[in-house]
Amino acid sequence: MNVALAEAHDAPGVANGPAVVCADVRKSFATAGGVLWALRGIDLTVPAGGVTMLVGPSGCGKTTLLSVIAGILTRDSGRCAVFGVDAEDLSSRERLDFRARTLGFIFQQFYLLPSLTIADNVAIPMIINGLPRIRALAAARELLSEVGLGGRTSEHPGALSGGEQQRVAIARALAHDPRLVICDEPTSALDHDTGQKVMALMRRIVAERGTTLLIVTHDSRIFPYADRIARMDDGHILGVEVPPAEPVS
């Protein structure tokens, strides 16, 4: 195994160093009209622990940056490391292994499998990482209790409200105890009250676990839940600010 990858697997939940470091990251796409530059020299450091939000107008490159950080998209140039590991230094198999062990994902769409119970949905990342199914299901039920769905573990996603399905998605993202959870618009499909409850839940759980949460959002209603906000436009990071108010608890 790659040495840096082995160290990242063995490291504690909150590292001494930053969770993410991007330096002069550039990414382009070929289009019918020519080359489209989505990222134009991104410099961004995300400290380990807490909640960092990445905000900016549609089309400014936020989701592309998340995909580069996650190792899903390759970049044109620059460096991007997650807990000291640059995905592009890894083989394809090592990259998949690193992502499966280190990252969790929460999306605007919940991507729950409708034919499975919510306990089965939450157990999937643990089974992928080699945990026997019986133990994975037991751990999944504990996680669902933690997000307030302990009495409904045998139900299917279609029986749940949008906010409840997002709570299942949170439990699934945290099931394998990832060090970094990446969220793409996790509250934009939810009403105000439900979005606030979901963010309060995420803040509490990641604080208890020492997890780093990186959120792309347009939803200004959840900005008070951030420890820091990175503002982005036209493929650039314009600056990083600390919200003046204390985070909502």
Return the CATH number at 23.
3.40.50.300
Question: Does 161 reside within a domain?
Answer: no
Host domain of residue 185: 3-112+178-241
Mean pLDDT in order along the chain per 10 residues (249 residues):
46 65 97 94 96 94 95 95 95 92 90 96 93 95 92 96 92 93 89 89 88 93 93 96 66
pLDDT on residue 9: 47
Is residue 226, in this structure, part of any structural domain at all? yes
Gap between the Cα atoms of 203 and 72, Å rounded: 25
Does a structural domain hold residue 216? yes
pLDDT at 188: 83
Has residue 138 been placed in a domain? no
pLDDT at position 248? 52
Q: What total of structural domains would you count in the chain?
A: 1
State the Cα–Cα distance between residues 191 and 205, nearest whole angstrom: 21
Domain assignment present for 172: no
In 3D space, the residue among 81, 116, 57 whose CA is nearest the CA of residue 5 turns out to be: 81
Strand order in the sheet with 103-107: 103-107, 180-184, 212-216, 50-55, 228-233, 236-241
pLDDT at 1: 46
Is 69 inside any structural domain?
Answer: yes
Would you say residue 227 lies in a domain?
yes
Sheet with 20-31: strands ordered across: 34-46, 20-31, 77-82
Nearest to 94 by CA among 175, 210, 173, 7: 7
In 3D, which of 103, 131, 130 has the Cα closest to residue 8?
103
Residue 133, in any domain of the structure: no
CB 181 within 8 A of CB 99: no
